[in-house]
Amino acid sequence: MARDGAVYACQSCGAVQTKWSGQCPACQSWNTLVEEAGARPPGALATTKATRVRGLQFTGLESDTAPPPRILTGVDEFDRVCGGGVVPGSALLIGGDPGVGKSTLLLQVCASAALRGVSCAYISGEEAVEQIRGRADRMGLAKANVSLAAETSLRDILDGLKRDNFDLVVIDSIQTLWSDAHEAGPGTVTQVRACATELVRLAKKKGVAILLVGHVTKDGQIAGPRVVEHLVDAVLSFEGERGYPFRILRGAKNRFGATDEIGVFEMGDVGLREVKNPSALFLNEGGERAAGAAVFAGIEGSRPVLVEFQALVAPSAYGTPRRAVVGWDSGRLAMVLAVLEARCGLGFGDKDVYLNVAGGLRITEPAADLAAAAALASSALDVALPQDCVVFGELSLSGEVRPVSRMETRLKEAAKLGFGRALGPLAGLPEGGGALPVAGVARLTDAVRRIGDEIWTSLT
């Protein structure tokens, strides 16, 4: 029988149960329920000898007090993803694969903010102070006035932050902290949730911005597992493919800004370098464009980004054709292939199909449908698209090319990088023709016909 007052937390999903069982009812994981000592069942209120009635003090939405200004760290790409700077009193969670550069990024953010007069502290539970100093010296940040500490005890960290006044604090990482109020080991759901709750409470009470580093699991999810994401104000994901020097900082949750912004960095010998024009990095500038390549004019957050879609359609050597995609949704690829087969007469049933987004960038925008379809049709027909052409547009299951948002912004970015023409939806074209001449197509069959017949000289 379950003991009175005992609760059990799943170390895989964070679900809380009032009795122990071999399998978690929430995530179906085995042997992951661990008792939380001293905890109360969900919904139970603590009883005291003297009961005091406290009433809530309600206020209106209007306020005469101006909100505090955002903290500008000086790393423009980081400030962009945060929504224009870090909000005082907020808690941010930064996750990413091991070795992607989370500690490097946050050390640069701390040092850059300190050079601008912001009081910063960097608390590490994974590195010694001398190791952090050595990394800062290699990056040329040794002169920044950043307070360093190596500590994993939550009580000592809270006492130090309450004693000294800081504007920006980095905790690297939340999985290494432990609270003496719980018997569970560091990194467990109980400890991560308890430590994150206390740090968020301190951030709200003292008005200090706290940046928490979170590890990720094998599936790419922020470990903890997801109990910390509900506590913090913003969740940022630091991504990067092995073999590529590019790093993408992407917002997954942000209470103070947009969640579709990205920041682009390039990893070098002395740290991360901000990339002001990411389109120039993701495009191949040399030589003629090969068959199966199409340049997509996309929008990431508030900035336009041009990236190359690469497709290869080859005869299948086995009974079951292979479908492989990198940087795009595999379900979206299956839909585009089905539309090409049903509406355009292109057969892929006996062919292997490979699709890649160059540069390690991951595209989630529906406006990339036409670019992927153009790359696939170009490879299947063995006809190369023009070197100075960009493609964008959303596809419907009927083969219709639907209009997309901010078409004028896409065309201006393409014109700035030297492109001279575009293939896009017929509906929604900018008045006056826009920055580039656009070959408007209403259906996917029209786009495939243009590619196959190489009719690119009379764009209308």
**32-74 confidence digits (pLDDT tens):** 888 776 554 444 444 454 445 567 788 888 887 787 899 999 9
pLDDT at 457: 43
**Could you report the per-residue pLDDT of 120-176, keeping only the tens digit for each?**
999 999 999 999 999 999 999 999 999 999 999 999 999 999 999 999 999 998 989
Q: Which of 184-193, 256-265, 427-436 has the highest mean pLDDT?
A: 256-265
Q: Which of 393, 351, 396, 399 is nearest to 376 (CA)?
A: 351
What average pLDDT does the segment 374-384 reach?
A: 93
**Could you report the per-residue pLDDT of 103-112, keeping only the tens digit for each?**
999 999 999 9
Q: pTM score, two decimals?
A: 0.79
CA 246 vs CA 70, 273, 358: distances in Å: 27, 9, 11
Where is the binding site for ATP, in residues? Answer: 96-103
Where is the binding site, in residues? Answer: 96-103
What average pLDDT does the segment 217-225 reach?
A: 51
Average pLDDT, the chain: 86
pLDDT at 43: 43
Q: Which of 432, 443, 440, 434 is nearest to 406 (CA)?
A: 434
Single-letter code of the amino acid located at 396: S
Separation between Cα atoms, residue 72 and residue 35, nearest integer Å: 43
Contact partners, residue 434, CB within 8 Å, separation at least 6: 407, 408, 411, 412
What Rg do the C-alpha atoms of the chain give, in angstroms?
26
pLDDT at 287: 62
89 close to 138: Cβ distance less than 8 angstroms: no
CA 98 vs CA 28, 152, 173, 238, 460: distances in Å: 27, 19, 12, 10, 50
292 close to 311: Cβ distance less than 8 angstroms: yes
Q: Which of 28-32, 39-43, 178-182 has the highest mean pLDDT?
A: 178-182
**Could you report the per-residue pLDDT of 386-428, keeping only the tens digit for each?**
888 999 999 999 999 999 999 999 999 999 988 999 999 988 8
Backbone angles phi, psi at 234, to 5 degrees: -145, 145
| Token digits of residue 344 | 């355009």
Separation between Cα atoms, residue 202 and residue 288, nearest integer Å: 57
What's the CA angle centered on 405, arms 403 and 409, to 5 degrees?
A: 115
